């Protein structure tokens, strides 16, 4: 069937076409910021530093429930300290045929375990996109040492290897799914995606088949954004509100299209954010398979 070659191509492209751009606007990581009155929908649990478990399960208002008048302007949002966000792809041991470049996107299992252990030992608390949105848009406080973990491309090892590892530490994550790959060999099934969602992780959209957003025309927005969003909403029973651009590539024209289709925020890689629409160009760094825990720690501190 034609689709499986599309999936392979998409995954291969994702694993090889990206580079690790240098970071353009680095600041120290956020802790809390509370110079604005809390939004009515905010829970008290996010207001003070809390235990690991509570931090991971802290709730935040749905972005749609936050009145437009409460949302800060772009300059204010851009000025807030960035929360570190890591982007993972495959979690598996390297094979002889893996290219040098691909190994940035393939984190060996033991290396991954050590990276996650380092985050736990360093006192990081994982946050989820609604918390990040409330922080960026309204200045809502976050747990101490917040970090967001994201996984792109629907790879099965994210469920079988990463998920249990995160669970050990009470960490939650965001999984950006490309729907074409659901149920195919080496990718997650619909049931696994639902389980991740039921367990308190967030499912986001990563298009239907990983085509570059900058090239969309006409019906592409339906194929790549509308239909996959509907599929993911059917699977999870929840609204899909967050989007990760394939290859991290975006253009200003894409932002109103995403907004119209229910996306509250969108994620790029480590390039510069858009000054007009920082919520649709939230930065992430790829946690490389080459990185020791120490290198990851340094990268987090230097990149955000
Ligand atoms: Zn991808």
Ligand 1 centroid from CA 154, angstroms: 9
Ligand 1 centroid from CA 14, angstroms: 5
How far apart (Å, rounded) are the C-alpha atoms in residues 189 and 4?
A: 14
Ligand 1 centroid from CA 263, angstroms: 17
Instruction: Give a yes or no: residue 133 inside a domain.
Output: yes
Question: pLDDT category, 64, cuts 50, 70, 90?
Answer: very high
Instruction: Give a yes or no: residue 230 inside a domain.
Output: yes
Closest CA to 280 of 294, 265, 296: 265
Question: Cα Rg for the chain, rounded, in angstroms?
Answer: 18
The DSSP secondary-structure symbol of 141 reads -
CATH number of the domain at 158, please: 3.20.20.370
Which residues line ion ligand 1, judged by CB < 5 Å? 14, 152-153
Ligand 1 centroid from CA 245, angstroms: 7
**pLDDT value for 45:** 38
Q: Residue range 4-18: average pLDDT? A: 42
For 143-158, the pLDDT digits (tens) are 999 999 999 999 999 9
For 205-260, the pLDDT digits (tens) are 999 999 999 999 999 999 999 999 999 999 999 999 999 999 999 999 999 999 99
Instruction: Give a yes or no: residue 16 inside a domain.
Output: no
Question: pLDDT category, 14, cuts 50, 70, 90?
Answer: very low
Ligand 1 centroid from CA 255, angstroms: 18
Helix axes 109-121, 293-303, angle to 10 degrees: 60
Ligand 1 centroid from CA 254, angstroms: 17
Ligand 1 centroid from CA 273, angstroms: 19
What is the DSSP track for 1-40?
-HHHHHHHHHHHHHHHS---PPPSS--PPP-----SPPPT
Please say if the pLDDT value at position 31 is more than 50: no
Please say if the pLDDT value at position 3 is more than 90: no
Q: Residue range 94-119: average pLDDT? A: 97
The fraction of the chain above a pLDDT of 90, given in percent, is: 81
Instruction: Give a yes or no: residue 9 inside a domain.
Output: no
Ligand 1 centroid from CA 301, angstroms: 24
Instruction: Give a yes or no: residue 48 inside a domain.
Output: no
The DSSP secondary-structure symbol of 282 reads B
Ligand 1 centroid from CA 106, angstroms: 13
Instruction: Give a yes or no: residue 250 inside a domain.
Output: yes
What's the structural domain count of the chain? Answer: 1
Question: pLDDT category, 193, cuts 50, 70, 90?
Answer: very high
Ligand 1 centroid from CA 182, angstroms: 14
The average confidence (pLDDT) of the chain is 86
Q: Which domain holds residue 185?
A: 86-95+105-304
**pLDDT value for 258:** 97
Instruction: Give a yes or no: residue 23 inside a domain.
Output: no
Instruction: Give a yes or no: residue 6 inside a domain.
Output: no
Question: pLDDT category, 50, cuts 50, 70, 90?
Answer: very low
**pLDDT value for 59:** 79
**pLDDT value for 58:** 59
- Segment among 55-59, 188-192, 255-259 with least mean pLDDT: 55-59
Ligand 1 centroid from CA 168, angstroms: 26
């Amino acid at each position: 069937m034609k689709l499986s070659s599309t999936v392979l191509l998409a995954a291969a492209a994702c694993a090889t076409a990206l580079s690790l751009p240098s970071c353009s606007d680095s600041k120290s990581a956020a802790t809390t910021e509370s110079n604005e009155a809390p939004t009515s929908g905010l829970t008290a649990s996010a207001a003070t530093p809390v235990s690991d478990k509570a931090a991971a399960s802290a709730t935040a208002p749905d972005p749609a429930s936050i009145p437009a008048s409460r949302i800060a302007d772009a300059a204010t949002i851009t000025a807030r300290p960035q929360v570190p966000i890591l982007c993972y792809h495959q979690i598996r041991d390297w094979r002889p045929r893996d290219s040098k470049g691909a190994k940035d996107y393939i984190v060996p299992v033991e290396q991954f375990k050590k990276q996650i252990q380092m985050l736990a030992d360093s006192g990081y608390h994982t946050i989820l996109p609604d918390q990040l949105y409330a922080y960026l848009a309204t200045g809502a406080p976050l747990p101490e040492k917040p970090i967001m973990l994201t996984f792109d491309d629907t790879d099965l090892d994210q469920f079988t290897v990463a998920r249990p590892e995160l669970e050990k530490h009470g960490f939650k994550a965001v999984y950006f799914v490309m729907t074409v790959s659901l149920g195919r060999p080496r990718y997650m099934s619909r049931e696994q995606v639902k389980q991740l969602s039921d367990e308190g992780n967030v499912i986001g959209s990563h298009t239907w088949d990983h085509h570059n957003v900058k090239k969309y025309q006409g019906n592409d927005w339906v194929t790549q954004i509308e239909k996959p969003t509907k599929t993911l909403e059917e699977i999870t029973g929840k609204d899909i509100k967050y989007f990760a651009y394939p290859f991290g590539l975006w253009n200003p024209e894409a932002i109103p299209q995403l907004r119209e289709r229910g996306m509250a925020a969108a994620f790029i890689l480590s390039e510069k954010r858009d000054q007009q629409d920082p919520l649709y160009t939230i930065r992430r760094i790829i946690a490389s398979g080459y990185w020791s825990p120490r290198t990851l720690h340094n990268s987090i501190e230097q990149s955000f």
